[in-house]
Chain A
Amino acid sequence: MPILRVGPLMRYYIDNKSEVIVRGATVVDALQDAVLQHPALKFHVFDSAGKIRRHINIFVNDQNIRDLQGLQTRLDESDRIILMASISGG
C-alpha cells in the first residue's frame, strides 16, 4: 500500500511518526484515509471548505501533484506521498 510521509512540522499530528501506511487509489483517497487514522491531521491539511490549505504541498514520490493530476493523481502500491509545508519568514 502507498505510504504517506509528512515533514517534521506535521509529525506531531500523526503520533510523532514520519510515515503512515494509507489505503487509496488516488491522492485524495489516501489523504482521507490518513485523516481517518489521524483525525488531528485534518485541521492542518484541509481548510473549512475541505480544500487543501494553501501552504501545504503534496508530492507523489518526487513530483508535485500540481504537475500530475492534482488530487486525482492515481497511486501505485509502492508510491510515497509526501506532505510539505512552505517555509517563510522575514
Chain B
Amino acid sequence: MANKVMLKISKDALTQIHAHGEQAYPDEGAGFLLGMENGSRDVQAIFPLTNSREDSARHNRYLITPNDYLKAELEAERLGLSLIGVFHSHPDHPNRPSEFDRDWAQPFFSYVITSVQSGKAIESRSWRLSEDRSQFIEERIQIN
C-alpha cells in the first residue's frame, strides 16, 4: 500500500491546517478532512474543530466529540463531499503517529499529522492504518 496511496491537498487547505495547529499550540489541534475519492484521495475542504479533551491532556491528546463528528458529517453532505480523514498537530513532537494514535485509528481514514515546533507549524505527513491495525503506512502528500 505504501507506494500506491496518495493524498492530494490544496496549498490553501494545508495552510489552514498549519494555522489551526499554530492557534492550538501548545495544545493539540484537530479537525476533519473533507473530500472525494476517485482513484486518488482529494482533500477539498477542512473542518477545524475545538479539541474537546480535558485541559490537562490537551497538550498530547485530542478528542472530537460525537456532536462535532455529526456536524462535520452534515457539512460534508451539504458540500457533496465525504469525511476522508482527520488532521491533528503534535506540539513540539515529530509528525509520526503515536501508539495512542494507532489504538484509536481506523483503517479507512487518512491521518494528517503536523509537527508544530515552538508554535510554528513545520511539516505535515499523512498516514493510513493497515487493515490488520498493526502499523501506520505513510501516504504521499501531493500539494496542488
Contact = CB atoms under 8 A, between A and B. Distances in A.
B28 interface: yes
Contact of A84 (B63, B73, B109): B73
A9 to B, nearest CB: 5
Interface in B50-94: 53, 60-67, 69-70, 73-74, 82-84, 86, 88
Interface in A39-82: 57, 59, 62, 64, 82
Main secondary structure of the interface of B (DSSP, over half): mixed
B66 A84 contact: yes
Given A87-B64, A88-B61, A89-B104, 6 more contacts: A7-B73, A57-B66, A64-B66, A64-B67, A87-B69, A88-B64
28 contacts: A7-B73, A8-B83, A8-B84, A9-B106, A9-B108, A9-B109, A57-B66, A59-B66, A64-B67, A84-B69, A84-B70, A85-B69, A86-B63, A87-B63, A87-B64, A87-B69, A87-B86, A88-B64, A88-B100, A88-B104, A89-B61, A89-B86, A89-B88, A89-B97, A89-B98, A89-B100, A89-B104, A90-B60
